Amino acid sequence: MKKIISGNEAIALGFGDFGGVFASGYPGTPSTETLEEVARLGQVYCEWAPNEKVALESAIGGSIAGGRSLSTMKHVGVNVAADALLTLTYTGVNAGLILMVSDDPGMHSSQNEQDSRNYAKFAKVPMLDPANSQEAYDMVRAGFEISEQFDTPVMLRTTTRISHAKGVVVPQEKIAAQVGEWEKNVPKYVMLPNFAKLKHVEVEARLLKLQEYAETTPLNRIEMRDPEVGFITSGVTYQHVLEAYPNASILKLGMSHPLPEKKIREFAGSVKRLVIAEEMDAIFEEQIRAMGIAVEIGKNKLPLCGEINADILQAAVSGSSAKPVSPVAGLPMRPPVFCPSCAHRGLFTILSKLKCFVSGDIGCYTLGALPPMNAMHSVIDMGASISAAHGMAKVNVIAGRDEKPVAVIGDSTFFHSGMTGLMSMAYNGGNALVIIMDNRTTGMTGGQENPGTGETLQGMPVRQVDMVPLVKALGIDNVAELNTYDLKETEAAIKKALATPGPYVLIDKNPCILRYKIRKPAMNVDQEKCTGCRACLKVACMALGLNADGDDKKQKVRVDPNVCNGCGVCKQMCKFDAMHELEGENNANL
Amino acid sequence: MQIFNIVIAGVGGQGVLMASKVLAESALASNMDVKQNEVHGMAQRGGSVISFVRIGEQVHSPVVMPGSADMLISFEPLEALRYIHFLKPGGRLVYNKVSINPSTVAAGMAVYPGDVEQQIKAICPNSHGIDALAIAREAGNGKAVNMVMVGTVMKHLPLDEKIISQVVEQLSQGKAAEVNSRALAGGAAA
């Protein structure tokens, strides 16, 4: 039966339909829904790993043990898993192994715009590049077949507009999951130098065979129409080309590595103008130019940064900028913000007040960097809050500065790669305050389970990792709990920690209100008492706003009861006792 | 048939994605090709959200280009103004008149424009504002604003209203099915 599903859901469906046995991933936009959907479909075992390296290594184990395996992650996750990937390419697989990676051109929800096709080249593994949900589904089957036929991991790469775009999918006949033998094979799986040297030769030979395969596979197809302009393209950019130039000829690469050189020559020879339409890096273009093929339009006209769309293609190829439409100027921005009653709000209100240098991390709390908080001053990658704060503290000593840096990190990010940094800080006699916002979920990606949640991706109740003994075991003596809903207590605790020499860890255990659906009665502002001093607005809550429609026409604060979730952090900022719980029947939250 | 381009805009948490899903499933149930696309990830954190639904015989790109939308459905007035340039000349705009402060306004760093509705009218004469929150509350839950908005535009879509109603029932569970159906009907009558 036809379905309308996203690329992520299609890959999940394909995994179940094409004999998938084991899946492990780490949440990361835009890849997250894939494993969530595998879990929802309930046909195949799947789990969240604490990080992408563990996820891929677990999938490697699954493959060695004979089960078709899948590992899912966002583009930056492959950096974490790269250590495994770059040697996995030598060992190859037993049962088929797919590494699904989601790139984020345009950086809708990412800290960089890296192009994962570089990893396919780097690791010398085949990469599939679906252009819609149906292809995403079909390519799971193709991916397992290629993986097993060529004894190689296969990268299945999506971009945001494939992962999150829904299209029609017609499912194929199912292939029943079969688990193969679990065999000992030292030269294949033990990458000691002597074995690895032989394996490297095999990898190079495999790549040549894959090139031959790329010439004949229907995954790469020439669509000859008007020979005036020919596009070489892949992924969602193929759809934008069809949108802008429905009559143009296209070489559509469903397999974006390795490239089919003969097919590319044939196509280039049959069109007058050759355009290489690819988002982000000039991966195809560099290789095609190296073949000595004349390219008229590539990155000379198309952007290296951000997404490509039909208008951008038309401007580059036809020189016509389509309809000049510009948005209304000067509107107030609406950036994402801490949810009403989020526990992060109180913490950043105090960090902003104390003007600490905050070494931040990847998660909802990264929003603490935005105005009016302005209370996060570096964010690099998962776990860097702690290790970077450690480096800052060491240089501060050398510089004679006595300021102690503050690292802020969430529970999931701490489990991912904060623990090693904290251990280093303890081991190396560091001097930073680490605040762990332990809200018992992976928040920014939508509330996924992690080792602190108490349940698995498939809903199995498990023991929660207990943060305080864990931190102590890593070598930290000064560990205290924190309640960021209490501003006075939070300020006192942070001041004490900053005044105490050496590593110090504060842990807030308030749960994510979104994940755990926590509702509290809404607040109300007494318009008689409010002086319009704006002290409460410093907490940056979208439930608050200034209005000037009272009798005296003075700007005063109002609470939107539809938005407020009653945490009372704004109330603690008010010096005039103007804020109280909204009573009785007017309170929709009760 | 020409492709019918719909843009749905709102604030994270308002149910833009669910409304998009209703339209996409309805198109599928009507045997049409459809692509639906939104960018989420931080969508539940009060940020601006925009979603595209494209319906036709064969749809390629999942993206609606500025200046090409047949319809803009906005769950909030300021978001209607923010994405009004997606409408093609003569395109239709339906928006919820109940405003939500952006964080920038809430923090006192910006002012919510007092003349949003006048600006909307000046740019798009074919615009229609409704109090979707009141209708949703009457239907039984203020969170059903998204279904009210779908109801309001139903008769202007290239889709059968009965199919949309069935899809809403199928996608909602338990008590929510009744509330959503009432919200849809309330929107249709507005």
Give the C-alpha separation, B147 to B172, whole Å. 11
The Cα of A217 is separated from the nearest Cα of chain B by a number of Å equal to: 23
pLDDT(A331) > 50: yes
| Residue A135 binned pLDDT confidence (cut-offs 50, 70, 90) | very high
Q: How many CB atoms lie within 10 A of CB A380?
A: 15
Angle formed at CA A39 by CA A37 and CA A40, multiple of 5 degrees: 60
The minimal CB distance from B107 to the residues A322, A325, A537 is found for: A537
pLDDT at A373: 92
- Tell me what percent of the residues of chain A surpass a pLDDT of 70: 98
The structure's pTM equals 0.96
Query: Nearest to residue B87, comparing CAs of B113, B50, B112?
Result: B50
Lowest-confidence region among A21-35, A53-67, A551-565: A551-565
Residue of A nearest to B112 (CA): A332
The Cα of A235 is separated from the nearest Cα of chain B by a number of Å equal to: 11
Q: Do A542 and B133 touch (CB under 8 A)?
A: no
Residues of chain B with C-beta less than 8 angstroms from the C-beta of A562: 100, 133, 142
Q: Do B42 and A161 touch (CB under 8 A)?
A: no
The β-bridge partners of A276 are A232
pLDDT at B42: 58
Instruction: Check CB contact of B79 with chain A, cutoff 8 Å.
Output: yes
Torsion of the alpha carbons at B116, B119, B123 and B128, rounded to the nearest 10:
50
pLDDT at B107: 84
Tell me the CB-side half-sphere exposure of residue A19, using CA atoms within 13 A: 21
| Residue A590 binned pLDDT confidence (cut-offs 50, 70, 90) | very low
Q: Do A544 and B41 touch (CB under 8 A)?
A: no
Interface A:B, Cβ pairs < 8 A? 183
Nearby residues of A329 by Cβ (< 8 Å), 6 or more positions away: none
Q: Do A325 and B60 touch (CB under 8 A)?
A: no
Q: Do B106 and A537 touch (CB under 8 A)?
A: yes
| Residue A372 near residue A537 (C-beta atoms within 8 A) | yes
pLDDT(A320) > 90: no
CB burial of A255-273 (b: ≥16 within 10 Å; e: otherwise) equals: bbbbbbbebbeebbeebee
Q: How many CB atoms lie within 10 A of CB B140?
A: 16
Estimate the crossing angle of helix B16-29 against helix B145-153, to 10 degrees: 40
pLDDT at A129: 98
The Cα of A501 is separated from the nearest Cα of chain B by a number of Å equal to: 35
Instruction: Encode pLDDT of A146-155 as tens digits.
Output: 999 999 999 9
Q: Do A332 and B34 touch (CB under 8 A)?
A: no
- In this prediction, residues A479-494 reach a mean pLDDT of 98
Instruction: Check CB contact of B115 with chain A, cutoff 8 Å.
Output: no
Give the C-alpha separation, A144 to A132, whole Å. 19
Instruction: Encode pLDDT of B30-89 as tens digits.
Output: 999 999 998 765 555 788 899 999 999 999 999 999 999 999 999 999 999 999 999 999
The minimal CB distance from B103 to the residues A108, A364, A540 is found for: A540
Q: Which residue in the block uniquely carries the two structure tokens 């003075």? A: A554
Q: Do A160 and B39 touch (CB under 8 A)?
A: yes
Encoded tokens for A387: 């290790």
Q: What is the mean pLDDT of chain A?
A: 95
Cα B111 to chain centroid, rounded: 24
Q: Do A546 and B108 touch (CB under 8 A)?
A: yes
Interface test with B, best of A166, A225, A326, A547 (most B CBs within 10 A): A166
- How does strand A255-257 pair with strand A273-277? unpaired
Lowest-confidence region among A302-316, A563-577, B28-42: B28-42
Interface test with A, best of B37, B84, B87, B123 (most A CBs within 10 A): B37
Residue of B nearest to A326 (CA): B85
Give the C-alpha separation, A63 to A70, whole Å. 9
CB burial of B39-69 (b: ≥16 within 10 Å; e: otherwise) equals: bbbbbbbbbbbbbbbbbbeebbbbbbbbbbb
pLDDT(A574) > 50: yes
| Residue A479 near residue A505 (C-beta atoms within 8 A) | yes
Phi, psi of B188, rounded to the nearest 5 degrees: -65, -30
Lowest-confidence region among A470-484, A547-561, B20-34, B130-144: A547-561
Residue of B nearest to A446 (CA): B41
The minimal CB distance from A545 to the residues B28, B43, B101 is found for: B101
Q: Which residue in the block uniquely carries the two structure tokens 């894939």? A: A34
Interface test with A, best of B104, B112, B133 (most A CBs within 10 A): B104
Instruction: Check CB contact of B16 with chain A, cutoff 8 Å.
Output: no
Question: What end-to-end distance do the CA atoms of chain B give, in Å?
Answer: 29
The Cα of B127 is separated from the nearest Cα of chain A by a number of Å equal to: 16
Instruction: Check CB contact of B122 with chain A, cutoff 8 Å.
Output: no
- Reported in sequence order, the residue ranges of A207-269 that DSSP labels E, i.e. its strands, are 220-223, 226-233, 248-253, 255-257
Q: Do B65 and A322 touch (CB under 8 A)?
A: yes
pLDDT(B173) > 90: no
Q: Do B65 and A310 touch (CB under 8 A)?
A: yes
| Residue A153 near residue A97 (C-beta atoms within 8 A) | yes
Residue of A nearest to B106 (CA): A545
Q: Do A309 and B48 touch (CB under 8 A)?
A: no
Residues of chain B with C-beta less than 8 angstroms from the C-beta of A367: 45
